[in-house]
Amino acid sequence: MKRLSIFVSGNGTNLQRIAEFFKNSKEVEIVNVVCNNPKAYAIERAKNLGIPVRMVTKAEFNSPEFTKEMVDLDLDLIVLAGFLWKIPASLIQVYPHHIINIHPALLPKYGGKGFYGEHVHEAVVAAKEPFSGITIHYVDEIYDNGETILQAYVTLSEGETPDTLAAKIHKLEQAYFPVTIQQLLFWS
């Protein structure tokens, strides 16, 4: 059985899609959801999906005890699905190349601290970029910096708004994130 932990901070649409994708799998288990935001709708989703939720404060998250807890879970992959805190170096060191993130733009553009969710789409539309997309990448100790696993593109239309772009990006995320996870778990 491959063991996943999914880290979330917000709505949790990616969490939902990943959980549904692996729902009938006998080879993949989402052992928990780690959440840093008590107001995140992702908590509700995890409950409805029957996945235990581990709420964390910043101090807990950065403590050696939390890293130990994650090691004890014996995970095959940690998936950041809209998780907005920097991952502690200790966790990266115990799971090298086993933590991945999804970013709603074509990194290295529109990445780094402050570039998350709708802020990314606002900046892309304001700059009149011809394209945007998603980047799935390994997590290292710098925000949005690790090696790219996959990028997928969309074209911006005439009159594109941050909201319409967000909808296009969500479709890409839904299409590519679960299959990329599956590929990493079984074929890499």
**Binding footprint of ligand GAR on the chain (CB under 6 A):** 8, 10-14, 42, 81-82, 102-104, 116-117, 120, 173
Q: Which is nearer to ligand GAR, 66 or 116 (CB)?
A: 116
CA 32 to chain CA centroid, nearest Å: 14
Q: Is 98 a catalytic residue?
A: no
CB of 116 to ligand GAR, least distance (A): 3
Please, what is the minimum distance in Å from the beta carbon of residue 114 to ligand GAR?
9
Tell the smallest beta-carbon distance from residue 140 to ligand GAR (Å): 14
Tokens of 185: 């778990």
Give yes or no for a contact between 36 and 53, defined as CB atoms under 8 angstroms apart. Answer: no
**Which residue number is nearest to ligand GAR in terms of Cβ?**
82
Measured CA distances, 155 to 60, 81, 131 (Å): 41, 23, 5
Nearest Cα to Cα of residue 79 among 100, 54, 57, 103: 100
Looking at the annotation, which residues are catalytic?
103
